[in-house]
Amino acid sequence: EPEVTQTPSHQVTQMGQEVILRCVPISNHLYFYWYRQILGQKVEFLVSFYNNEISEKSEIFDDQFSVERPDGSNFTLKIRSTKLEDSAMYFCASSEAAGQRYEQYFGPGTRLTVT
């Protein structure tokens, strides 16, 4: 069964550094998402992406964050100048098409630790 994959599984970075989290969505999916889960807290929506554009973003997704689909398979989340409070699990998800009845498939997550 196709799966969403994410790399790396764990990323450690120093405060102020830039990180890029990578995701490979399911191949025929057209919508892509990023979520984060700070330890012990809720999963929070960050952004959705369709047709090479951001379609929705939350208040969390400020200028520090950017997303990109650099090629036909990868979907990346870049965090510039990381802060301690960016430490979290970051989940990528993808769905087959537009429309709310389409299930979002989640990746296993990348644990980001900012020191």
Partner 1 sequence: AQTVTQSQPEMSVQEAETVTLSCTYDTSESDYYLFWYKQPPSRQMILVIRQEAYKQQNATENRFSVNFQKAAKSFSLKISDSQLGDAAMYFCAYRPYNNNDMRFGAGTRLTVKP
Residues that bind partner 1 (CB under 8 A): 31, 33, 35, 41-45, 48, 55-56, 58, 89, 91, 100-101, 103-109
**CB of 11: closest distance to partner 1 in angstroms?**
15
Q: Which is nearer to partner 1, 25 or 109 (CB)?
A: 109
Q: Which is nearer to partner 1, 16 or 92 (CB)?
A: 92
Contact 104, 94 (CB under 8 A): yes
Contacts of 66 (CB under 8 A, 6+ apart): 77, 78, 80
**CB of 92: closest distance to partner 1 in angstroms?**
11
Contact 23, 77 (CB under 8 A): yes
CA-based end-to-end distance of the chain: 37
**CB of 110: closest distance to partner 1 in angstroms?**
10
Q: Which is nearer to partner 1, 37 or 81 (CB)?
A: 37
The pair phi, psi for residue 109, each rounded to 5°, is: 95, 155
